[in-house]
Amino acid sequence: MSANGLAPLSQAHSEDLIPWVIEARDEIAGGDQSPIAVSRPGPLFRVSVAPEGRAMPPYSVGDLLEWHGETGERREFSIASVPGGRALDLIVRRVELPVGGMGAASWALTADNAPHRINARIRAYPNYHEAAGHGPLLAVAAGSGWGGVRAHILRAMQQGRPVWLIYGERGPSDDLSLFTEMRRWQAEGGIKRLDLALSRSADQQAPKYAQDVVARNAASIADFLGEGGTITICGATAMGDGVHGALEAALPAGWIETARASERWRSATFLKAARVSLPLRRRTRPRKTPTGEEQDTDRGF
């Protein structure tokens, strides 16, 4: 088992590797505009992929799509949709490198000049499967962590459970098309409460990060969750740690331990990828990682 709880790739599983077609790709939030020293988080895309010429393989809420590059590299992406559809949604952050380059999977999934075809397989991620119980759902995410909590929210809305979404994204503006869907679900009553944290908002009083929203709303969150509520968290480790700390302060002693033990707590948080120096060259096709080795799966969102 690797650091993030994913089972190592086995020979048996590699039989599940199949071709997928990228059917749609929409930019839903802009990226960091600061100069690229080594790499920077670029725009966020919603990417829709469907198995080529065959039925959708089975999967569960919380599972991953594992992209495979031509030279053996692999990257995981949270499946942002619920089972039952003909295609899968992914929320993909493009990683931008100097001189127009991109990370390997970023290029394959988001670049205009990439083929609309990828090799990938569904990978079970049991630690992040649907939470047990029927209580209200508190979903907390930032950035491409939206991909992780989105499937949990869709499932909770199908079940008629109250949902409170706390979501943080970089940027000063709250008019991103990413937010359109969240606001529509709120207007339709699927999401009971929506709090957005914009890290570069000009409003000095506004919370900047998802964990700030949790800390400011401690009493309301405890009321909302009651004894049997469920929690799903997805994003970078720093956000996850901050949210965990704020929830510990907000909830009665032992609440989180009990929720974990009864599978009402689902968290998928990951270390930011290490920034390493890269040669300055334009990416025209997928390649290996900068070190020429396959990297482990503990990478950033």
Query: Which amino acid would we find at residue 285?
Result: R
CA distance 86 to 63: 16
Binding mask 268-287 for ligand FAD (x = CB under 6 A): --x--xxxx-x---------
Q: Residue 153 interacts with ligand FAD (CB under 6 A)? A: no
Residue 155 or 162 having the CB closest to ligand FAD: 155
Q: Residue 81 interacts with ligand FAD (CB under 6 A)? A: no
Name which position in 22, 28, 62, 77 contacts ligand FAD (CB under 6 A): 77
Structural contact between residues 92 and 110, judged by C-beta atoms closer than 8 angstroms:
yes
Name which position in 78, 217, 232, 269 contacts ligand FAD (CB under 6 A): 78
Nearest by Cα to 90 from 119, 116, 117, 67: 67
Name which position in 47, 62, 89, 106 contacts ligand FAD (CB under 6 A): 106
Structure tokens at 124: 């079970």
> Which residue stretch of 20-28, 90-98, 175-183, 248-256 sits at the interface with ligand FAD (rule: CB under 6 A)?
90-98
Beta bridge partners of 261: none
Q: Residue 39 interacts with ligand FAD (CB under 6 A)? A: yes
CA distance 122 to 144: 18
Structure tokens at 186: 């709120």
**Total residues at the site for ligand FAD (CB under 6 A)?**
32
Q: Residue 92 interacts with ligand FAD (CB under 6 A)? A: yes
Query: What minimum distance in Å lies between the beta carbon of 295 and ligand FAD?
Result: 6
Sheet holding 265-270, edge to edge: 193-198, 163-169, 137-142, 230-236, 265-270
Residue 145, classed as helix, strand or coil, is helix
Q: Residue 95 interacts with ligand FAD (CB under 6 A)? A: yes
Name the one residue in this structure whose structure tokens are 């096709």.
285
DSSP letter at 272?
Answer: P
Q: Residue 76 interacts with ligand FAD (CB under 6 A)? A: yes
Instruction: List residues binding ligand FAD (CB under 6 A).
Output: 4, 39-41, 64, 75-78, 91-93, 95, 103-106, 144, 147, 270, 273-276, 278, 289-290, 295, 297, 299-301
